[in-house]
Structures are given as structure tokens and as C-alpha cells.
């Protein structure tokens, strides 16, 4: 359930009619979450509320997008909502993993909020295990997309113009029956469930994902956010490069703070 904060304008901020909702899936390498960080930081988006749910592991921490000492002590929790009305963009950032068996309740609550807040469409940033690709998925770019039927009618032509590759379906029973194909997103977290639920509910949703492995996934995040920018043009650019995105202050601690100098 979305709960607006006072800084976002109270209850008025719960109406996102015509907005695009951008959100990550908690997936392999946390690539979607890192890409969302880049969007929020670069566009200086305003926090307008949070998503209250018992489906995520509780957490609290300092402001991950602090720009000065004055706002560095602001608290952030596991699911927060940011908005940029000038671009008709609202972002849900998820910062903690899901509690076991809570995927479906979260998806139902989220999609109910999408409908009640009148969002025009949803874009999910995700990732999938690179080592579980089939032969066809090994070819070409490691980036893929999916569109629900309702969004396919509106944006399918643009994806073809961009020369994007749709996520391939794989054999349900490899080596036994290769004719029956299914959507398989290993390591994708809630991605498949959220997508299939949106298909059945008539919600316009796109999934953008990257095949990757666990490790330093910052390059994967830049690749995914550049992929997103090809479509939505969040920042103006002739050639997408990493230097155009503003790295949030919290990324300094992604791999710890280093060894204390006093040890040497």
C-alpha cells in the first residue's frame, strides 16, 4: 500500500495518472536496483512516499542519495516512491529481499496500486542468470525485453525500430520435448510472476533485463539503464555513456569502506 509523505504533497501525491511507473525486480546481481539508483540520483527525483508491505525484509538506513551533510541523516526504508512530474515518471525503489512465499501477495498489492493510482504503464528492470542461457540466448546482445499484449499494441513497433531482441522462450522439457516453449527467467525473482499477472489483468508492462552473473554488477547496471534510456529518453544523449549518469553517494560503500589506515 502506498503511503504519501508530507514533503510529497500529502494525499495529492497518490494520483499518478498518466505516469510511467519504473521499478526493479530483486534479481541476480541487484542490477535492476542499481539501475534505479542511477535514475533517481541523476534526475534528482523527490521522495513522495513509501510502499508499506509485510512482503519485504524490514530495513532502515541513511539517505542513499545524500548530496550534503544536511540531508545525509534522513532515513530510508525498504520500499520508497520517488516522483518527477515534469517527465510523468514515478519510481518505486526496493532495497531488501522478499520474505519466503510473499511474492504473490506483493504482486497483487502492487498491481492494485498501479490501477488505483492510474499509472499508464509499468517498466520493470530485471536480470537473469547468464549461465542458464540456452544456445539462442547466447547470440548477440545480453539485453532483452518483454511486453504484455496491451503494451505490445502501443509500443511493439518502436521496439522493432530500436532493433531490440525479445526474451526468447525456452523448451519446457529440454532434450525430451523441444516443441513446447515456456518463459523462463532464472534468477529473475518476481519478474515472471509480475509479468504474467499483468498480462492477465490487462496492464501495460514492459520488462527490460540483462543476462549477468553475481559480482561487481555496476557495469551491468549502466548497460541496463542505457538500454532503458534508448526507449524513454530520460536524459538527452546521442551516445549513451556511463559518465552521463550521476552515481549516488551510497555507492561508495558497495564493497565496504576499505581497511583503516591505522592498520598500516
192 vs 180, residue with greater confidence: 192
Angle between helices 218-232 and 31-42 (to 10 degrees): 60
CA distance 123 to 233: 14
> Is 100 within the bounds of a domain?
no
236-251 pLDDT tens trace: 876 656 678 999 988 8
CB 48 within 8 A of CB 7: yes
CB 189 within 8 A of CB 27: yes
Return mean pLDDT, the chain: 89
Per DSSP, the three-state class of 216 is coil
74-104 pLDDT tens trace: 889 999 999 999 999 999 999 999 998 999 9
Enter the DSSP assignment of 113.
H
Strand partners, 91: 22, 82
Half-sphere exposure of 15 (CA within 13 A, CB side): 5
Q: Where are the alpha helices (DSSP H) in the chain?
A: 31-42, 69-72, 103-116, 149-161, 191-201, 218-232
Domain range spanning residue 114? Answer: 15-44+105-235
DSSP symbols for 118-161: T-SEEEEEEEEEGGG--TGGGSS-SEEEEE-HHHHHHHHHHHHH
Could you tell me the three cell numbers for 35? 539501475
Question: Which pLDDT score, from 0 to 100, does residue 10 have?
Answer: 43
Could you tell me the three cell numbers for 180? 513446447
Q: Is the per-residue pLDDT at 174 higher than 50?
A: yes
CA distance 199 to 152: 11
> Is 118 within the bounds of a domain?
yes
> Is 180 within the bounds of a domain?
yes
> Is 188 within the bounds of a domain?
yes
CATH code at position 39: 3.40.50.10900
> Is 168 within the bounds of a domain?
yes
Question: Which pLDDT score, from 0 to 100, does residue 213 have?
Answer: 95
> Is 142 within the bounds of a domain?
yes
Angle between helices 103-116 and 191-201 (to 10 degrees): 40
Structure confidence at residue 27 as a pLDDT band (50, 70, 90) = very high
40-62 pLDDT tens trace: 999 999 999 999 999 999 999 98
Question: Which pLDDT score, from 0 to 100, does residue 148 have?
Answer: 96
Q: Is the per-residue pLDDT at 135 higher than 70?
A: yes
Could you tell me the three cell numbers for 17? 495518472
Per DSSP, the three-state class of 57 is coil
113-152 per-residue burial string, b: 16 or more CB within 10 A, e: under 16? bbeebebebbbbbbbbbbeebeeebeeeebbbbbbbebbb
Structure confidence at residue 68 as a pLDDT band (50, 70, 90) = confident
Question: Which pLDDT score, from 0 to 100, does residue 238 have?
Answer: 61
213 class by beta-carbon count within 10 Å (0-12 exposed, 13-18 middle, 19+ buried): middle
CA distance 219 to 127: 13
Q: Looking at residues 186-206, what average pLDDT do you find? A: 95
Q: What angle do CA 159, 201, 143 make, to 5 degrees?
A: 30
pTM of the complete model: 0.90
> Is 211 within the bounds of a domain?
yes
> Is 109 within the bounds of a domain?
yes
- Cα–Cα nearest to 18, from 74, 87, 103: 87
Domain count along the chain: 1
242 vs 134, residue with greater confidence: 134
Amino acid at each position: 500500500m502506498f503511503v504519501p509523505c508530507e514533503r510529497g504533497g500529502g494525499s495529492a501525491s497518490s494520483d499518478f495518472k498518466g505516469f510511467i511507473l519504473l521499478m526493479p525486480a530483486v534479481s541476480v546481481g541487484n542490477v535492476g536496483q542499481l539501475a534505479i539508483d542511477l535514475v533517481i540520483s541523476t534526475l534528482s527525483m523527490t521522495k513522495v512516499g513509501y510502499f508499506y508491505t509485510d512482503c519485504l525484509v524490514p530495513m532502515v538506513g541513511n539517505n542513499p542519495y545524500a548530496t550534503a551533510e544536511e540531508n545525509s541523516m534522513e532515513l530510508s526504508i525498504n520500499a520508497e516512491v520517488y516522483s518527477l512530474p515534469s517527465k510523468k515518471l514515478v519510481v518505486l525503489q526496493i532495497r531488501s529481499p522478499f520474505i519466503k512465499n510473499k511474492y504473490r501477495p506483493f504482486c497483487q498489492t502492487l498491481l492494485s496500486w498501479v490501477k488505483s493510482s492510474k499509472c499508464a504503464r509499468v517498466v520493470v528492470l530485471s536480470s537473469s542468470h547468464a549461465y542458464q542461457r540456452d544456445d539462442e540466448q547466447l547470440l548477440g546482445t545480453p539485453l532483452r525485453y518483454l511486453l504484455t499484449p496491451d503494451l505490445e499494441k502501443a509500443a511493439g513497433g518502436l521496439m522493432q525500430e530500436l532493433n531490440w531482441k525479445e526474451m526468447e522462450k525456452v523448451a519446457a522439457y529440454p532434450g525430451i520435448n523441444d516443441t513446447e516453449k515456456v518463459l523462463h527467467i532464472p534468477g529473475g525473482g518476481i519478474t515472471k510472476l509480475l509479468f504474467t499477472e499483468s498480462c492477465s489483468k490487462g496492464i501495460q508492462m514492459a520488462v527490460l533485463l540483462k543476462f549477468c552473473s553475481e559480482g561487481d554488477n555496476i557495469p551491468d547496471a549502466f548497460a541496463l539503464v542505457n538500454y532503458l534510456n534508448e526507449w524513454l529518453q530520460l536524459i538527452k544523449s546521442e551516445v549513451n555513456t556511463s559518465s552521463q549518469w550521476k552515481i549516488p553517494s551510497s555507492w561508495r560503500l558497495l564493497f565496504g569502506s576499505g581497511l583503516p589506515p591505522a592498520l598500516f
